């Protein structure tokens, strides 16, 4: 069953022994980060942390909510996350029924899709308290995570906009810097849908309305991070996962809808005619500070929240952090879509230690010369996989989640002069290694066993294996 809100999920975590309550006073300036960082680096991700006494605030702070395999499975409601991927596949690649019987068989699926559609309701707990005057975003315990951060940052907000042309909603997970009590800076990177909406609004000469929702059913926090195609509404995806539509309420000062059971919602707008503002520095998931750059400014027009709200935050920094498990869930959920496009793929892995975009390890059923390079090129053309810097391709018997096997095969099977290709393409804008922001080199490495038809001139040796008879004995 879906969780109605964040509070129901916290009760579940408490029953499962997955929640630690911090009762001593802790500052939102650096101290919550330090404690959370230590816990995130514990085996299996430690526990979710509820800081009940935050210095200068009466509002508690929750961190590391999704920071373990167990908790993210509890949040999404699935033991096998690939099952979510097959649901998404059916949405994006619907099978066309050719006979009346096939149409009848599709009816339950169509009902499930209809049940998953977001539902607009008249009211919700997020409207318990409404403020349109004397707004001060710092009435909430927004964190400063790292010593050289440019200020306080909202780190786990569902940033909601609509395409100014199509009206399709986008919900993205973007960091948001507090500039003043009524102004925020939105970190809309060039590859993200929020950025596309901004530039469309600028071209059309329109204000872009924005809502930032914090909390609610934990599946909503997850889907805001998912790399969905632009035409797929993240709240519809949440409904597919839950098989129950997300309840939304209409904004008071914006023509947007947001979760009725969120803890906090910030309404406002971006004026594309205004100059961009300085945003940053920010200690990011790469483990480095991203420098100051220019991003859009959001003006706050209203703040709504529940009575006694809980402030939800996530910490990023040197891995592993909570995003290790969020990224792992995305990797598992999107495997079916990758297999649909590339049936030869056995598995893939985007290691958190490589900040997700630095490495993709993929195993394939190799059938012809150059097959490894074909798969790598295809992966670099799939959505945000295009930002991957190193793609390493292995034979199907290599477990790409096992670094020992990966390094063994990579070290033994690769001749750099023959098996490495250097390309150019888009790069994650947070990557500081390239000369240009968002553009640089890529490396494809073929770590599969080599064939004569691929130019190998010797006899490929046999791998050492014990006889089955001896193993059985």
Q: Catalytic residues, which ones?
A: 284
Positive or negative, the Cα torsion across 380, 384, 387, 391? negative
Q: Which of 142, 138, 163 is nearest to 153 (CA)?
A: 142
From the list 128, 94, 132, the residue with the least C-alpha distance to 110 is 94
Does residue 346 contact residue 364 with C-beta atoms inside 8 Å?
yes
User: What is the separation, in whole angstroms, between the first and last Cα of the chain?
Assistant: 48
Smallest CA-to-CA distance from 9 within 170, 216, 203 is with 216
Which of 294, 256, 291 shows the shortest CA–CA distance to 274? Answer: 294
For residues 311, 312, 314, 315, the Cα torsion angle rounded to the nearest 10 degrees is: 20
Distances (CA, A) of 243 to 110, 259, 468: 11, 16, 47
Sign of CA dihedral 355, 297, 265, 161: negative
What angle is formed at CA 371 by the lines to CA 367 and CA 372, rounded to 5 degrees? 125
Q: From the CA atom positions of the chain, what is the Rg in Å?
A: 24
Name the nearest CA neighbour of 358 among 424, 427, 304, 290.
427
- Relative to beta strand 119-120, strand 247-250 is parallel
Neighbour-count burial of 36, counting CB atoms closer than 10 A to its CB (0-12 exposed, 13-18 middle, 19+ buried): buried
How far, in Å, CA of 79 to CA of 359, rounded?
26
């Amino acid at each position: 069953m879906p969780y109605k809100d964040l509070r129901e999920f916290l009760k579940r975590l408490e029953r499962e022994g997955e929640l630690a309550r911090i009762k001593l006073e802790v500052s939102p300036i650096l101290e919550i980060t330090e404690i959370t960082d230590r816990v995130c680096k514990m085996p299996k991700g430690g526990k979710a942390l509820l800081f009940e006494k935050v210095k200068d605030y009466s509002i508690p702070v929750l961190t590391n909510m999704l920071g373990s395999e167990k908790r993210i499975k509890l949040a999404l409601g699935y033991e096998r996350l690939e099952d979510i991927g097959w649901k998404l596949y059916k949405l994006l690649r619907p099978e066309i029924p050719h006979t009346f019987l096939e149409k009848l068989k599709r009816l339950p699926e169509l009902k499930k899709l209809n049940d998953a559609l977001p539902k607009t309701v008249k009211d919700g707990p997020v409207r318990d308290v409404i403020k349109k005057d004397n707004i001060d975003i710092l009435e909430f315990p927004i964190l400063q995570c790292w010593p050289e951060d440019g200020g306080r940052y909202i780190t786990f907000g569902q940033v909601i906009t609509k395409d100014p042309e199509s009206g399709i909603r986008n919900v993205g997970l973007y960091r948001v810097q507090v500039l003043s009590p009524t102004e925020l800076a939105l970190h809309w990177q060039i590859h993200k849908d929020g950025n596309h909406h901004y530039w469309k609004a600028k071209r059309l000469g329109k204000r872009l309305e924005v809502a930032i929702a914090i909390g609610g059913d934990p599946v909503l926090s997850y889907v805001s991070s998912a790399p969905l195609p632009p035409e797929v509404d993240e709240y519809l995806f949440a409904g597919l996962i839950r098989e129950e539509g997300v309840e939304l309420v209409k904004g008071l000062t914006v023509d947007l809808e947001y979760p009725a059971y969120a803890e906090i919602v910030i309404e406002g707008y971006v004026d594309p005619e205004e100059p961009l503002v300085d945003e940053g520095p920010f200690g990011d998931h790469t483990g480095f500070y991203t420098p100051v750059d220019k991003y859009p400014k959001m003006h706050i027009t209203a703040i709504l929240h529940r009575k006694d709200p809980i402030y939800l935050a996530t910490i990023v920094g040197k891995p592993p952090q909570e995003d290790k498990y969020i990224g792992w869930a995305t990797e598992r959920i999107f495997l079916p879509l990758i297999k649909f496009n590339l049936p030869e793929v056995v598995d893939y892995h985007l290691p958190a230690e490589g900040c997700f975009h630095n490495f993709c390890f993929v195993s394939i059923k190799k059938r012809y010369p150059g097959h490894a390079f074909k798969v790598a090129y295809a992966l670099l053309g799939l959505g945000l996989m295009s930002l991957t810097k190193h793609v390493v391709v292995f034979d199907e018997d290599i477990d790409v989640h096992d670094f020992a096997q990966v390094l063994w095969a990579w070290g033994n099977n690769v001749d750099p002069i023959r098996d490495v290709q250097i390309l150019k393409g888009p790069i994650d804008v947070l990557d500081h290694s390239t000369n240009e922001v968002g553009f640089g080199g890529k490396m494809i490495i073929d770590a599969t066993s080599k064939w004569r038809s691929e130019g190998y001139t010797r006899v490929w040796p046999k791998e050492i294996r014990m006889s089955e008879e001896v193993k059985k004995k």
